[in-house]
Amino acid sequence: MLMNAAADLLTARTAKPSRVVVGMISGTSADSIDAAVCRIEGFGLPSAHGPGARVELLHYAETPYPAAIKARILDLAAWRVRDVAELNVLVAEAFADACLETLAGAGLKPEEVDLIGSHGQTVYHHSSVPGAIGATLQIGDGDVIAERTGALVIADFRARDVAAGGEGAPISPFADVILYAPRDPQAPPERRAVLNLGGIANVTVLDPDPARVFGFDTGPANTLLDRLARRISGGTLDCDRDGALARAGRVDEALVETLLAEDAYLARRPPKSTGFEMYGDPFVDRAGTLLGRFDADLMATLTEYTARTVADAFARFVPPVVEVIGAGGGVKNPALFGRLAQLLAPARLLLGDDRGVPGDAREAMAFAVLAHEALFGLPTSLPSVTGARRPAVLGKFCLPRF
């Protein structure tokens, strides 16, 4: 009977003219849980045969992590197996709370939700570390979220791509094709790029030919700057707010050149992905040691280095684009975003809001899309992005209460 109930549920959800889907994610900085409530009609990529999935953002909210959970997440070096097990539950509870709060803000009841797509909290990604096998781990058990909310949940998106031989990141390019589809069907075809400035920077190249869409992680975005801000402030700052520290400091060009020359990841050809295993506290420690201090000058220098790694990736691997659409927390840092506008010219650097997708909401919306497409059994990993042997349906299904 339970099998029949599950099959009936999935059939009923896909038969609806539209579905309410909540997408959720927390970045590597573990500042907050981002949740986007979307209404999605249709399915699939836009093509000559139809518009594909069409996404309307109903509501977006950021819910801070409880301080105790955030502190445990960031203290990775002290983790034991028990910590992993407990945090897998505690993070899921926090995601469930964030989902319920966001739904209340949207004026919706949990039973009005058709599907939740939860990315969870990344705590490890292989990041091309020498000798490491392909592995990735996101915690925040989808079954806990399903039990708490009563909704169908799809979670753990990256594991299947890794199992298929892929990098497991970035996996948002499929969703980007849908979210940033041209709104005017008569507009001339143009190649554009989406630049997500989260902890790690990643780019999606949107080609007029969907078969030529690709993407990769360019390197660091906020990860080094956030870690340095916490170090300079003794933990009172979690980021370089408004780029104030970077703008107060002076760039050490020699150190920038040294860091660029030492960074083997930059020259590696896509498909490729990275994370805080490569761009984490040891990187900040080495940069500060080379400079001889941890201060505003180091912040200015690491901000310049970060911007230059993005520009380097575009110069090496991205064909000419007419515009770059910025998303993620890094767009709020004028020292970083302003420098990128200079380095990426003549391409126009825009905010996601200018193209109908609020920059803060983009990643959460992406996981709403990925979950929605999984509901229809559609592969959403792109081998041109991750290097997987084949396209794969991403995500594990966690059934609601029956």
Q: What was the pLDDT predicted at 39?
A: 99
Tens digits of per-residue pLDDT, 157-215? 999 999 999 999 999 999 999 999 987 767 778 999 999 999 999 999 998 887 789 99
Choosing among 3.30.420.40, 2.40.30.160, 3.40.50.1820, 3.40.390.10, the CATH entry for 2-173+361-398 is 3.30.420.40
pLDDT band at 374 (very low <50, low <70, confident <90, very high): very high
pLDDT band at 40 (very low <50, low <70, confident <90, very high): very high
- 3-state SS of 98-141 is HHHHHHHHCCCCHHHCCEEEEEEEEEEECCCCCCCCCCEEEECC
Q: What is the CATH code for 184-355?
A: 3.30.420.40
Domain ranges of the chain: 2-173+361-398, 184-355
Cα(25)–Cα(385) distance, rounded to whole angstroms?
20
Q: What was the pLDDT predicted at 189?
A: 83
Asked if the model's pLDDT at residue 375 lies above 90, the reply is yes
Q: Which two tokens stand for residue 401?
A: 């209460």
Cα(174)–Cα(373) distance, rounded to whole angstroms?
10
Q: What was the pLDDT predicted at 180?
A: 94
- 3-state SS of 21-79 is EEEEEECCCCCEEEEEEEEEECCCCCECCECCCEEEEEEEEEEECCHHHHHHHHCHHHC
Asked if 161 contacts 392 with a C-beta cutoff of 8 angstroms, the reply is: yes
Q: What was the pLDDT predicted at 3?
A: 65
Strand partners, 192: 206, 323
Output helix, strand, coil percentages for the chain, rounded to the nearest 5: 45, 20, 35
* CA gyration radius, the chain: 20
C-alpha distances in angstroms, 171 versus 157, 269, 388? 8, 17, 11
Q: Kindly give, in sequence order, each residue whose CB lies less than 8 Å from that of residue 316, ignoring residues fewer than 6 positions away.
A: 266, 267
Same fold, 2-173+361-398 and 184-355: yes
Asked if the model's pLDDT at residue 1 lies above 60, the reply is no
Please state the φ and ψ torsions of residue 305, each to the nearest 5 degrees: -60, -45
**Above pLDDT 70, what percent of the chain?**
98
Q: What was the pLDDT predicted at 31?
A: 81
Mean pLDDT for the chain overall:
94
DSSP structural state of residue 332: G
Q: What was the pLDDT predicted at 277?
A: 87
Asked if 294 contacts 287 with a C-beta cutoff of 8 angstroms, the reply is: no
Q: What was the pLDDT predicted at 208?
A: 83
Who wins on pLDDT, 89 or 235? 89
Q: What does the chain come to in residues?
A: 402
Cα(99)–Cα(141) distance, rounded to whole angstroms?
14
Cα(315)–Cα(346) distance, rounded to whole angstroms?
12
Distance, CA of 231 to chain centre: 24
Tens digits of per-residue pLDDT, 85-120? 999 999 999 999 999 999 999 999 999 999 999 999
Q: What was the pLDDT predicted at 185?
A: 67
Calculate mean pLDDT across residues 352-370: 95
Tens digits of per-residue pLDDT, 323-360? 999 999 999 999 999 999 999 999 999 999 999 999 99
C-alpha distances in angstroms, 1 versus 5, 6, 7, 272, 397? 6, 9, 10, 45, 18
Beta strand 323-327 with 348-351: parallel, antiparallel or unpaired?
parallel
Calculate mean pLDDT across residues 314-322: 97
**Above pLDDT 90, what percent of the chain?**
85
Q: Which two tokens stand for residue 108?
A: 């919706």
Q: Which two tokens stand for residue 81?
A: 């197996």
Question: Of 343, 265, 341, 258, whose CA–CA distance to 301 is shortest?
Answer: 258
Q: Which two tokens stand for residue 303?
A: 């901000």
198 half-sphere exposure, CB direction, 13 A CA radius: 26
Asked if the model's pLDDT at residue 2 lies above 90, the reply is no
